[in-house]
Amino acid sequence: MDASHVESDLVNVLFTEEQIQAKLAEMARKIEADYEGEDLLVVGVLKGAVMVMADLSRALNRHVEMDWMAVSSYGSGTKSSGVVRIMKDLDADISGRNVLIVDEIIDTGLTLSWLVTNLTSRRPKSVEIATLLRKPDALAMPVDVKYVGWDIPNEFVVGYGLDYQEKYRNLRDIGTLAPHVYS
């Protein structure tokens, strides 16, 4: 689905599908350089990171192993609830491995901070984060992010995996959701 199908629900389009793909390719080149000759386990954070994880992994010109976690601090609203819940854990043992967490957005930082602490306790060789979007003005918890696509304003965005009540995930672009949709 493209933005024209939901244009009355969006204030504006922040990033087009083409811009997103170019940014992910740029991030992939940096990841390849940083992990050259190293084993890499890429961990996607469900559900939102599905699109980013798939396209970033395909942009990498190397083998990577993939796994998934489902961790939530949102519920059904537009603001973080502040309570982190683990919904699905990793299948792989990460001890002694390089782990790259892939997420679509860092908002408050609460979920990613908790996730890094949780994964670090499992004795990996390294844990780093790659995210397509980050909201610096919304950060409530510092999170060291190695790969960031774009910093964005503290607005509610949808598309490319980002949702509002499970809608808009399949939007190819990323846009700011109009307040009339969630008010």
- Catalytic residue set: 107
Beta strands in the chain (DSSP E): 10-15, 41-46, 65-72, 85-88, 98-106, 126-134, 147-151, 157-158, 174-177
Give the SS3 label for residue 21.
helix
What strands, in cross-sheet order, belong to the sheet with 126-134?
85-88, 65-72, 41-46, 98-106, 126-134, 147-151
Distance between CA atoms of residues 40 and 32, nearest Å: 10
Q: How many CB atoms lie within 10 A of CB 142?
A: 8
DSSP state of 17: H
- Type of residue numbered 85: R
Distance between CA atoms of residues 79 and 177, nearest Å: 13
Residue with tokens 């190695």: 146
